[in-house]
Amino acid sequence: MKKVKLALIGAGLRGVNYTNYALEHPGEVEVVAVAEPVEDRRMSFKQAHRLPDEMCYADWREMLNQPKLADAVLICTQDYMHYEPTMRALECGYHVLLEKPMSPDPLECIRMGERARRSGLVFSICHVLRYTRFFGTMKQMLEEGRIGRLMSIQHNENVGYWHQAHSFVRGNWRNADETSPMILAKSCHDMDILLWLAGDSCTNVSSFGSLSHFTAENAPAGAPKRCLDGCPAAEDCLYYAPKTYLTDEDNWMKLAISDDQSYEGRLKAIQEGPYGRCVYHCDNNVVDHQVVSMDFRNEVTAVFTMSAFTKECSRTIKLMGTEGEIRGAMEKNEIELIRFDRNEPELISLETPGGHAGHGGGDEGLIRDFIRLVADGGMAQGLTSADISVQSHMMAFAAEQARVTGQVVHMPAYLERFASATT
């Protein structure tokens, strides 16, 4: 296989995570350039990948203004900063791996999809769940007819009360006016998995949900705006910031609050930054629980529940077919097959190196597949395509519209509206 050259735009948590693959597989792939405005991040990335100064840029525009310097670009900036670098990178002839969600704007998603299709370049979206053994095995079981014809899907995204507080109350994805609604930011993965497993296009979507708990009315009596300003509920509150961010235990949330990971650095971050705010006194507006029901052209029906109010951060799913059921809990990495014609269920235990880390192996599977597609010059077939990613993003936009208006959204009519807006 030809050795692939990558350039990274955005050396934050996700960008660094994907490019670690190059450090572990130097024979397959190398990172040759980075664009990152935060100097410390740029410098530490430069060191890790041994990049010369002239291949380290402070902005993606500078990098993409150079003659083509790699085979592919990884775009790992924040949600609202995906469209412009993607369009430019495709224009320059780069294959692109783009973080999800593609964009908070449906028209931009459609336009990127169209540009990619016209270019013939690889354009993969980081729908990492497709690359997990967990969902890959389920898809294979469906294709083998192990439960007959699939009829119904019940899928839960158990966000975890602590994950909700970190990312969707205090953190980057708390306010839909600045980034994306929850169903897009967090659950576009789930819309994508449902589309994949259902095996046909989505026809109708309805949805309900609201922000009900992380609001000022639910604050403990006398709670100040910031945890460290003498909160009387410090001892009992699940969300008291020092419990999450000043602990010695390993947790990824600590990494997000400051580049200075010393105790003093983290203390300063929660004294001054967004992660030290009381979860009941933030400027969050994304929902903390939501349901979406869908039907598909092949008459499969699906119900999806996203809830902040779970202990684990995981996904649980039940697929119901004419001859049996498949049940699975992602964090346990176990799938149960229950056939109607057998007395005992079959338990399938999936050994995943690294356990549940990196989305149950999905992060590594995704980058490996992208590199294979790029090495092949875009001729090979991937697990997904730009068209499919646009479809599942449109399901998420439709679900949000259904939730806000309280009306069922008929997908063909919804898509038609956008089709006329893009021509």
Ligand X SMILES: NC(=O)c1ccc[n+]([C@@H]2O[C@H](COP(=O)([O-])OP(=O)(O)OC[C@H]3O[C@@H](n4cnc5c(N)ncnc54)[C@H](O)[C@@H]3O)[C@@H](O)[C@H]2O)c1
Residues binding ligand X (CB under 6 A):
9-15, 35-38, 41, 59-60, 76-79, 81, 99-100, 126, 128, 359
**Residue 355 CA from chain centroid, whole number:** 18
Our CB check for ligand X shows the closer of 102 and 267 to be 102
Nearest to ligand X by Cβ — which residue?
A: 12
Our CB check for ligand X shows the closer of 295 and 363 to be 363
Q: Read off φ and ψ for residue 9, nearest 5 degrees.
A: -115, 110
Owner of token pair 């507006």: 285
Q: What is the smallest separation between the CB atom of 386 and ligand X, expressed in angstroms?
A: 16
Strand order in the sheet with 56-57: 56-57, 29-35, 4-9, 72-75, 95-98, 123-125
Cα separation, 423 vs 419, in Å, equals: 7
Our CB check for ligand X shows the closer of 15 and 321 to be 15
Q: What is the smallest separation between the CB atom of 222 and ligand X, expressed in angstroms?
A: 34
Our CB check for ligand X shows the closer of 15 and 113 to be 15
Our CB check for ligand X shows the closer of 38 and 348 to be 38
Which structure tokens are listed for 179? 């980034």
Our CB check for ligand X shows the closer of 101 and 324 to be 101
Cβ(335)–Cβ(139) below 8 Å = no
Q: What is the smallest separation between the CB atom of 61 and ligand X, expressed in angstroms?
A: 7
Q: What is the smallest separation between the CB atom of 398 and ligand X, expressed in angstroms?
A: 20
Q: What is the smallest separation between the CB atom of 43 and ligand X, expressed in angstroms?
A: 12
Kind of pairing, strands 150-158 and 29-35?
Answer: unpaired
Which structure tokens are listed for 400? 């949000």
Q: What is the smallest separation between the CB atom of 377 and ligand X, expressed in angstroms?
A: 25
